[in-house]
């Protein structure tokens, strides 16, 4: 069955006019709204363009100002860094001087110890605690005292170098950070709207905010411009303080080296003078002993001659004594009345007594001479022994000690 088609709705003329008027009114309203929106858009566009231009110009100015500040502080820190570098190099030279000074006293100490050991080899009466001994012992004390002062000063120098290098590290780090910041800010300052390497980075603003919040949490406060400049200023002041401390220490080192060198030279001269005097005394004593030995040798020779003469004289008296004894013996054989005590008999008896008295006197003189010879020989032995001791002492003091001490040299101290 065919379906019936409904006829379209019919409107009246009033409705037609009403619809037209409504469309007219709506179009007018929308048009007016669009015009207002366009006008507002133009105003907003002009305003945002101005704000963007002004803001960008202000950022450029602030970046330029920031670059000037960065360059200023970088130059200040760099200048102080160079000064600290120079001071470290200078102090290292002073440290080298101290080390050379310490090395320079090794040989003199060895020489002094050797001299004391050599002089223990002296013998007999020459093994005395003389001025040389006392000055050598004092020289050992002086060298040990100098070593202690030099070691202590060297330790202070090493510590000061460490402190300077610590200050240098922070200055270098500050310069490196500022160079990096200058590179970044200079690149930012040179960017413009026509550059091809500019781009939009999602979340960059939020990342910066988060980073600043992290800094605030770590340091209880964000890094403010005043803190930033104070950081470099603090590094410079700390470096300057360490540099001045180093200058003061260098002055102390110079004084220590000069004073210790004078102490060493003074004591070295004292030892050398005492040793020279002792050598002269020992030489004079040996010469006098040698002179006395020559006299004793001569006297021994004379005494031996005297003893020989006395023995010869005694021997010469035996024949006359034998003659007298023989005469008396023979005359005692005279017979009877002839056995008289005549003058000849009396003279023979007297002759025997005189000869025997002479022999007794000669023998007594011989005994005294032989005793004297023994004394002279003992004295000769003592003199020779003393001369041997003095010769050995002179060899120790003059050949061993003086020649060895001549190698002491403080010119490189």
Summarised one tens digit per residue, pLDDT across range 198-249 is 787 776 666 555 655 565 545 444 567 778 878 889 999 999 999 999 999 9
Burial class of residue 258, CB neighbours in 10 A (0-12, 13-18, 19+)? exposed
Beta strands in 260-386 (DSSP E): none
Counted residue by residue, the chain has a size of 413
Question: What token pair was written down for 261?
Answer: 């060198």
What are the residues whose beta carbons fall under 8 Å from the beta carbon of 234, sequence distance 6 or more?
Answer: none
Contact call for residues 178 and 236 (beta carbons, < 8 A): no
Summarised one tens digit per residue, pLDDT across range 37-59 is 888 888 888 888 899 899 989 98
In the prediction, which pLDDT does 1 show? 43
In the prediction, which pLDDT does 249 show? 96
Contact call for residues 123 and 392 (beta carbons, < 8 A): yes
Burial class of residue 137, CB neighbours in 10 A (0-12, 13-18, 19+)? middle
Q: Cα separation of 374 and 385, whole Å?
A: 16
Question: What token pair was written down for 187?
Answer: 């690149």
Q: Would you say the pTM of this structure is higher than 0.75?
A: no
In the prediction, which pLDDT does 218 show? 52
Q: Which of 149, 156, 158, 157 is nearest to 262 (CA)?
A: 149
Residue 167 above 90 pLDDT? yes
Residue 267, phi-psi category: left (phi > 0), alpha (psi -120 to 50), beta (remainder): alpha
* Mean pLDDT of the 249-277 span: 95
Summarised one tens digit per residue, pLDDT across range 50-90 is 998 999 899 899 999 999 999 999 999 999 999 999 999 99
pLDDT band at 366 (very low <50, low <70, confident <90, very high): very high
Residue 381 above 90 pLDDT? yes
CA separation (Å) from 247 to 83, 88, 89, 166, 243?
Answer: 12, 10, 12, 17, 6
- Tell me which CATH code domain 20-191+206-281 carries: 1.20.1260
Burial class of residue 21, CB neighbours in 10 A (0-12, 13-18, 19+)? exposed
Q: Cα separation of 237 and 62, whole Å?
A: 27
In the prediction, which pLDDT does 13 show? 81
Question: What token pair was written down for 150?
Answer: 């030099």
* Mean pLDDT of the 259-269 span: 95
In the prediction, which pLDDT does 398 show? 92
CA separation (Å) from 112 to 50, 108, 157, 190, 411?
Answer: 92, 6, 29, 75, 18
| Matching residue, tokens 């019936």 | 4
More confident call, 381 vs 22 = 381
Residue 193 above 90 pLDDT? no
Summarised one tens digit per residue, pLDDT across range 113-131 is 999 999 999 999 999 999 9
Q: Cα separation of 117 and 109, whole Å?
A: 12
In the prediction, which pLDDT does 304 show? 93
Q: Cα separation of 345 and 51, whole Å?
A: 176
* Mean pLDDT of the 343-369 span: 89
Q: Which of 100, 39, 114 is nearest to 411 (CA)?
A: 100
Region of poorest pLDDT, from 13-27, 182-196, 388-402: 13-27
């Amino acid at each position: 069955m065919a379906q019936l088609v409904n006829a379209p709705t019919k409107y009246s003329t009033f409705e037609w006019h009403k619809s037209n008027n409504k469309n007219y009114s709506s179009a007018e309203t929308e048009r007016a709204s669009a015009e207002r929106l366009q006008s507002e858009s133009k105003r907003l566009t002009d305003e945002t363009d101005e704000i963007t231009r002004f803001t960008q110009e202000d950022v450029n100015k602030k970046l330029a100002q920031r670059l000037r500040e960065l360059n200023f502080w970088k130059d200040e820190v760099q200048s102080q860094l160079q000064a600290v570098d120079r001071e470290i190099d200078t102090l290292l030279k002073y440290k080298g001087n101290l080390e050379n000074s310490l090395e320079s006293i090794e040989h003199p100490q060895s020489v002094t110890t050797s001299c004391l050991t050599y002089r223990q080899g002296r013998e007999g009466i020459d093994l005395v605690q003389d001025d040389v001994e006392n000055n050598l012992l004092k020289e050992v004390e002086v060298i040990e005292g100098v070593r202690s002062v030099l070691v202590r000063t060297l330790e202070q120098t090493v510590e000061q170098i460490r402190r300077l290098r610590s200050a240098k590290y922070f200055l270098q780090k500050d310069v490196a950070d500022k160079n990096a910041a200058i590179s970044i800010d200079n690149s930012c300052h040179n960017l413009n709207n026509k550059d091809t390497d500019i781009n939009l980075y999602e979340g960059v603003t939020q990342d910066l905010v988060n980073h600043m919040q992290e800094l605030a949490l770590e340091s209880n406060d964000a890094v403010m411009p005043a803190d930033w400049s104070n950081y470099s200023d603090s590094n410079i002041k700390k470096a300057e303080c360490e540099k001045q401390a180093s200058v003061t220490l260098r002055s102390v080192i110079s004084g220590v080296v000069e004073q210790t060198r004078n102490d060493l030279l003074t004591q070295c001269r004292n030892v050398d003078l005492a040793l020279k005097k002792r050598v002269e005394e020992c030489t004079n004593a040996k010469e006098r002993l040698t002179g006395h030995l020559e006299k004793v040798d001569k006297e021994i020779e004379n005494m031996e001659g005297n003893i020989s003469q006395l023995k010869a004289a005694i021997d010469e008296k035996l024949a006359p004594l034998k003659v007298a004894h023989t005469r008396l013996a023979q005359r005692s054989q005279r017979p009877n009345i002839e056995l008289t005590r005549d003058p000849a008999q009396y003279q023979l008896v007297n002759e025997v007594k005189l000869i025997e008295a002479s022999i007794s006197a000669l023998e007594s003189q011989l005994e005294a001479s032989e005793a004297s010879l023994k004394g002279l020989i003992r004295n000769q032995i003592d003199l020779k022994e003393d001369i041997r001791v003095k010769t050995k002492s002179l060899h120790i003091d003059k050949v061993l000690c003086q020649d060895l001490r001549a190698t002491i040299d403080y010119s490189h101290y």
